[in-house]
Amino acid sequence: MQTTITEPAFAWYRLHGAERAALIVLLLAAAGLGAGSWLKGSFATPAIKHADAPAARIFVNRAGVAELSALPGIGSRKAQRIMDARAKAPLKSIDELAEAAGGIAAANLERMKPFVDFTP
């Protein structure tokens, strides 16, 4: 008894020039999309967390909202309160800063002490 081998309906080796080029383009596009999604996570920039310490000293009496909100326990609202309070009179101590902000937790005050400067 003789066995016959049937060829599949689609065989890449039977493609002609334009068909072969289209298949290569599709395969490269699929590989590029797969590599793009794989690399997406490895090159992502780390998110800046509010708990991170600022990189430099912050001059409280000259800093803007963005700089003040980099301090632990200070958000944009408290930063704006600090700016409003220092417009009346410059802040001189960490306690005045906490009062101007409307209250800051003691742990956050301890964490921010090395990073704040009250020179006018």
pLDDT, tens digit, 9 for 90 and up, residues 27-43: 888 877 666 655 555 55
The tokens 């960490």 sit on which residue?
Answer: 94
Helix, coil or strand: residue 119: coil
Whose structure tokens read 């797969």? 34
Mean pLDDT (whole number) for 13-22: 77
Report angle CA 90, 119, 106 to the nearest 5 degrees: 75
> In terms of DSSP bridges, do strands 58-59 and 116-117 run parallel, antiparallel, or are they unpaired?
parallel
pLDDT in tens, 44-93: 555 555 555 556 788 888 888 888 888 888 888 888 888 888 888 888 88
Q: Are 23 and 14 in contact (CB under 8 A)?
A: no
Cα gap 99→104, rounded to integer Å: 8
Q: Between 102 and 40, name the one with better pLDDT.
A: 102
